[in-house]
């Protein structure tokens, strides 16, 4: 125990390394254990508040060991990564192992598995309709075999990070849906949404000397008088269809009742004739 502590290796870390070694030996994956356990990891950090993203290389395993045995979507404090990350809280969003296989949410394992994936599953894009395929994916538990780990800043710390918190990158496109434009500009239902559409300036690629022009997206789900008129028209057609169906049903029921009455009269007439014939005989 004293030897391990002097070398800076904990029993927890040793157990993870032995687990990875045994999994590699049992499953016969390509690559050796030393390739899996090389002390190097990239952290791909994104800041949604500013829109910036940065990849940082770490050679010292003690700095990123805090992420071991953590799952995707778990929040991890960044104090142990370095002094510049003090006070920061990161959320794990994904990653890739040393061979480039992506981590998949919901696979609660620290190694690779082969899953039958179809349309709608992550880590797979079907080429044909209804196609399914068995693909290798990495489990969502972080281990020493992870090469790149994707993180998102949940809480910003004390010190600013260059390339992540300094500049705010403007969004290229504004909101397109009418309700989202109202929410973005804090508008009421009476305000005209069309005046608040975010327009962007576009320069012609074919003719560089041409005057730049502006483009605006087509507003989706916009309630206009024409749309209300169309809805009223469709509702009127539906009402007329229901009324005509009721009339047709009433006519049909009347006809059926008439036919049933005629049949009863015929049966009664035949019965009376038969009775009269038996009495005369």
Q: 140-164: per-residue pLDDT in tens?
A: 999 999 999 999 999 998 888 998 9
Q: Which of 165, 166, 106 is nearest to 137 (CA)?
A: 106
> Of 35 and 195, which is predicted with more confidence?
195
CA distance 122 to 141: 16
Segment 207-255, tens digit of pLDDT = 888 899 999 999 999 999 999 999 999 999 999 999 999 999 999 999 9
How do beta strands 112-117 and 52-58 pair?
A: unpaired
> pLDDT value at position 265?
94
Q: 24-33, 176-185, 257-266 — which is least confidently predicted?
A: 24-33
Which residues, 6 or more positions from 9, have their beta carbon under 8 angstroms from its beta carbon?
none
- Residue-range domain boundaries for the chain: 2-155, 178-215, 231-281
Which residues, 6 or more positions from 238, have their beta carbon under 8 angstroms from its beta carbon?
none
What is the percent of the chain where pLDDT is above 70? 86
CA distance 158 to 145: 31
Residue 35 is inside which H or E element, if any?
helix 33-36
11-20, 94-103, 169-178: range with highest mean pLDDT: 94-103
224 φ/ψ angles, rounded to the nearest 5 degrees:
-120, 165
> pLDDT value at position 228?
95
**What is the torsion angle, in degrees rounded to the nearest 10, for the CA atoms of residue 169, residue 172, residue 174 and residue 175?**
-100
Q: Where does residue 94 fall: left (phi above 0), alpha (psi -120 to 50 degrees), or beta otherwise?
A: left
* Fold for the domain defined by 178-215: 1.20.5
Summary mean pLDDT of the chain? 86
């Amino acid at each position: 125990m004293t030897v391990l502590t002097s070398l800076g290796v904990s029993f927890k870390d040793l157990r993870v390394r032995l687990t990875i070694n045994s999994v590699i030996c049992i499953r016969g994956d390509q690559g050796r254990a030393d390739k899996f356990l090389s002390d190097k990891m990239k952290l791909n950090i994104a800041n949604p508040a500013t829109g910036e993203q940065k990849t940082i290389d770490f050679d010292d395993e003690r700095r990123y060991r805090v992420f071991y045995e953590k799952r995707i979507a778990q929040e991890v404090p960044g104090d142990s990564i370095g002094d510049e990350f003090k006070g920061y809280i990161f959320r794990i969003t994904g990653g890739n192992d040393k061979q480039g296989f992506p981590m998949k949410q919901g696979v609660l394992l620290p190694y690779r598995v082969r899953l039958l994936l179809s349309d709608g599953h992550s880590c797979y894009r079907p080429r044909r309709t209804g196609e399914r395929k068995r693909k290798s994916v990495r489990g969502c538990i972080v281990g020493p075999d992870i090469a790149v780990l994707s993180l998102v800043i949940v809480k910003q710390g004390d010190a600013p990070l260059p390339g992540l918190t300094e500049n705010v990158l403007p969004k290229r496109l504004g909101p397109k849906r009418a309700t989202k434009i109202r929410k973005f500009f804090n508008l009421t239902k009476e305000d005209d949404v069309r005046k608040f559409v975010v327009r962007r300036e576009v320069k012609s690629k074919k003719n560089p000397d041409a005057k730049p022009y502006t483009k605006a997206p087509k507003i989706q789900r916009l309630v206009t008088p024409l749309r209300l008129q169309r809805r009223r028209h469709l509702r009127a057609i539906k009402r007329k269809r229901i009324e005509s169906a009721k009339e047709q049903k009433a006519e049909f029921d009347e006809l059926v009742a008439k036919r049933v009455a005629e049949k009863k009269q015929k049966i009664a007439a035949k019965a009376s004739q038969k009775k009269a014939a038996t009495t005369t005989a």
